Every structure is written in C-alpha cells, then in structure tokens.
Amino acid sequence: MPFDDLRSFLDALDSHGQLLRITEEVQAEPDLAAAANAAGRIGENAPGLYFDNVAGFTDARVALNTLGSWANHAIAMGMDPLTSTKDQVAEFIRRWDDFPVAPERREDAPWRENSVEGDDINLFDLLPLFRLNDGDAGFYLDKAAVVSRDPDEPEDFDKQNVGIYRMQVKGKRRLGIQPVPVHDVALHLRMAEEQGEDLPIAITLGNDPIITLMASTPLRYDQSEYEMAGAIRQSPYPVATAPLTGFDVPWGSEVVLEGVIEGRKRELEGPFGEFTGHYSGGHSMPVVRIDKVSYRTAPVYESLYLGMPWTEVDYLIGPATCVPMYKQLKADFPEVQAVNAMYTHGLLAIISTKKRYGGFAKAVGVRAMTTPHGLGYVKMVIMVDEDVDPFNLPQVMWALSSKFNAAGDLVQLPNMSVVALDPSSSPAGVSDKVVIDATTPVIPDDRGHFSQPVRDLPETPHWVAKLTRMLAAR
Amino acid sequence: MNAVPEETEKIMSCPRCEHTGIEQVAASPVEGVWTVHQCERCLYTWRSTEPARRTSPEHYPPEFRMTRADIDAAPPVPAVPPLVRR
C-alpha cells in the first residue's frame, strides 16, 4: 500500500525496525541536528529518528532522517528493505514509464482541522523550529514541498511546480527563500516579477515520502510531480485544494502554509550548510509572507539534516537524480546501460555504455552535461564500459586505473554553467567541466593494448552459487 | 530555570554582526526554559540555550561573522528582472 501521509510512513518504518523513538529529554540544539548528523555516520541502513520530548516544548514531535538510508528509501518505494541500491534505481526506472498517472482529488484533508490567519500566525509557536549547523543564519524549513503556478498559465496543471527549496524563518510569518535560477520556481518568480506582481505559493510540511522524492526529481518544466508520484507509487496521488491560493497540495501534509513571495524584494539570507558539504555564504534573496496556515491536530514536524556527505539528502536525492538522466540519455543513445549520479546531487556522474565507434563514450558524457539537470550540476562524468557497474565503485576504480590515459581520454570544457553553490566554481556558477573516458577504445580509436582482457571463467557463476550455498548452510 | 532572564540580559549584541538591535521573537512554552532572539540588522536568530559558539559575540566563529559591508554586498539570487510591459 502506498503511503498517503508521513504518519503511515513512520508506522511502516517502525514495523520494519527502521524508526528509533527517542523518548528521553533532548535539547532542541544541538541534540536534534547532532542525532540526525550521527545517523549518517552509523552505516548505510540507519533508521529514521523520532523525538517527542524536547526541552521547553510541551507539544513537539520531530521526525528526522526518514529517508536517510537505503533501507528507508526501499520502504518508501514499497520494496524489501534489503533491496540493493542498483535494484532500487532499476525499479524507479521501470515505474517511471507509467507516467502520467492522474491524481485523485480528496477534499477531506486532515490539515483542514485547524487554521490561523494574518497577524495571528506565529511560526515559532506552531512549529518546533531548531538550528541544524553552527554557521546557519537561523532556523530553516528544508524539507517542505513548495507549490507554485505559472503566472501566465495558472490553469495549466502540468506547469504547476512542486519543489524543495530551503527557507529561513525570519519572523512570525516571514521566510527567506532560495529559488536557484535553474529551478522551476525561479521561472515562476521571474514571470511574476517582470509584471511587478507577487508570486502566490503554498508550502507543505511533513509529507509522504514519494512527493518528497518527486519534489527533488529534476522533471521537465511541464511534467507534473503529482502525475509522476502516481507512477512511482503505482497508485493515483491524493491531492486537495489549498484554501487561500486554490493550489493543488498533498492531501496528507501535516501543515500547509500559504502566502506569497513578495515581488521585486530581496533581503539578506543565509549562510546555510548545504548539500555540497560547505556553507552557501550570505545572499540577498526573496522574501515570503505567510497569510494562512492550516494544520493537522498534533502535527509532526519533519526536518532534514545536511552537511558533509553522506547525509539524508544524498539518499533522498540520489536515485531521483539518476533516473531522469538515464531516461534522457537512453532516449538518444540506447547503448547507455546505467547512470549513477548520486554524488553531491550529480556534480559527479558515472555512466556505463556500449560503444558505436571510437569517441562515442565521450559524446555520451558531454550529452549528460546538456540534460536539464546536467546544465546546473554535472561537472564531472566518468564513462565506463557496459560490463562495469557504475554503482560498484571498486569496479569503477578498476576501469579508471586501467583504461584511462590522460593523453587522449580527458575532455575539458571551459567556463560551463554549474550551480552557484558549488564551492569550486569561479565565478560562482561557472566552472570547467570534464569527461573522463575510462571505456575501452574501439575502432577507429586504436590506442592502448586492450585485446587480451582477463574475463571471469565460464565456470565461475556455478562456483559463486555453490560457495554461497555452502556458506549459508554452515 | 532562573538562569534565563540573567542570560537574556547579558545578550547586548548580535553574536554574528554585533548590532545592538535585538528582538525577542519567541519564548519556550514551558515557562523560563529558553527564549529565541533575532538581530534586526543581519536577521541572525538563536535560542538562548544554544552553545556559546552560537550565542556569544565573544565565542562566535570568526569565519561566520558579518559586517554592515558584508550585508550590503550580499549578491542577489536571483537578480530582480527588469519590468516588462505587455
């Protein structure tokens, strides 16, 4: 059964032994963030964390690291928690082909139970806000699905966007928001600001895991996250109408904030510890005014720790980055076998491919940089042969160490676009990019001495099965 | 906890930019456990019970400190576009 809200997902994590409930009293800072940080340091199958005894609060429920391991990602996808990363990505790819699945409208959303408006709103009272990293400017909302519409075509469901953007809580009903120019909300904001208008938005907190994954997936501008969520969860996605904006928002959200990004206004935001493992620096960013809050009784507040990888964000965004890039490359080049773009949101990608002719793998690597996500992220591509699994890093290192010759296998492209948060970019947002071709050269590229590879013996699979059986029977 | 009012009084300036315009924006639902403060100039926000490296100008890490000039020089992301007449 797919999860319609965060609570049912937390129950599923619990039933698989993948949720730790911490009942002793903790401090909001630094305990909550330090615990979530620690979850990324105790292995690949770390649990989600749930706190309900935070000093000074009477009614705080905080969920962290819900998607912060391969086991939890598998449970979110309705799969066996032991499913390998590669198989989780393969299943994601298989379900992707069911897009679009029309959403299901349900107007009995539990967040209709309570509401507050205008100057009566105080986010500090409504949410157990807390700081993540030492240098953060304040308390952030960093796992909310933010909904906005194309101001020129507000009735176009497909152009309605659902994305995750960091937001700094700056006042009782005021937020800072980071609309990175390569993301869809920045396009919506630009259109509104060109007309001198505010951009209405709905910010949904505490969601089912699949809309969180979809809000992190680089879909095309006119692909609906809700219709893709339906494909990935294999069931129509439940939406409800937000009361103030009229936008379509998740039926199961814990809290829905509605308001506007105030047009043509900028104000200091940040720094914030980012997915690159570095702080963002301070920038002058747009400001959100909240006009209405709707919320479930006894809401669960969900947040996400991020910092030096790996943390929850890497598990959350890893497969969601691999899949669209694989689909976009495969459409042009059927020879592509697999894409692993899980490193720092795809700043580095590893792609395996068959070769049509000499130079082909380099072309595929360059093409990855011109996919929609590649434009802002893919800075380094490692190309490997079809018999190398990009998810098996020892195999990738073997390919690099034995196939790669810098004399002819390095393609460096100067002054390309990259996300400005990349701390190595100079100026911010501009970087050279590189394709490292670790595939075996094929005709007419006759460099090197690759005619005598050592292959696994034909009898080896038989012995793999036999040894595995013997080990299991001990 | 009696310590809270004392600690609040000690906070005379922003740990990050040392501006003295500080607003209390929240207090703990359980009375007297903590308060949340915000700098009116750089918008730095902190809880009174956080470690000294986040709450005290004396202990605040130099790499995160900010001046009026830093605030004024913060580059816009994204830049405000020109108005378009239709």
Would you give per-residue pLDDT tens digits along chain A (474 residues)?
Answer: 799 999 999 999 999 999 999 999 999 999 999 999 999 999 889 999 999 999 999 999 999 999 999 999 999 999 999 999 999 999 999 999 999 999 999 999 999 999 999 999 999 999 999 999 999 999 999 999 999 999 999 999 999 999 999 999 999 999 999 998 878 999 999 999 999 999 999 999 999 999 999 999 989 899 999 999 999 999 999 999 999 999 999 999 999 999 999 999 999 999 999 999 999 999 999 999 999 999 999 999 999 999 999 999 999 999 999 999 999 999 999 999 999 999 999 999 999 999 999 999 999 999 999 998 999 999 999 999 999 999 999 999 999 999 999 999 999 999 999 999 999 999 999 999 999 999 999 999 999 999 999 999 999 999 999 999 999 999
Residues of chain B neighbouring A301 (CB-CB closer than 8 A): none
Find chain B residues with C-beta within 8 A of A124's C-beta. 25-26, 36
Hey, how many other C-beta atoms are within 10 angstroms of the C-beta on A425? Answer: 18
Contact A134 B66 (CB under 8 A): no
Cα A143 from chain centre: 10
Contact yes or no for B64 and A178 at CB 8 A = no
The residues that bridge with A202 in the sheet, in sequence order, are A147, A258
Chain B CB contacts of A417 under 8 Å are none
Catalytic residue, candidates A274, A312, A335, A459: A274
Strand A301-302 versus strand A62-64 pairing type = parallel
A274 noted as active-site residue: yes
- pTM of the full structure: 0.94
Let me know: does A252 contact A205? Beta carbons within 8 Å.
no
Q: In chain A, which residue's Cα lies nearest the Cα of B32?
A: A56
- Contact A137/B80, CB-based, under 8 Å? no
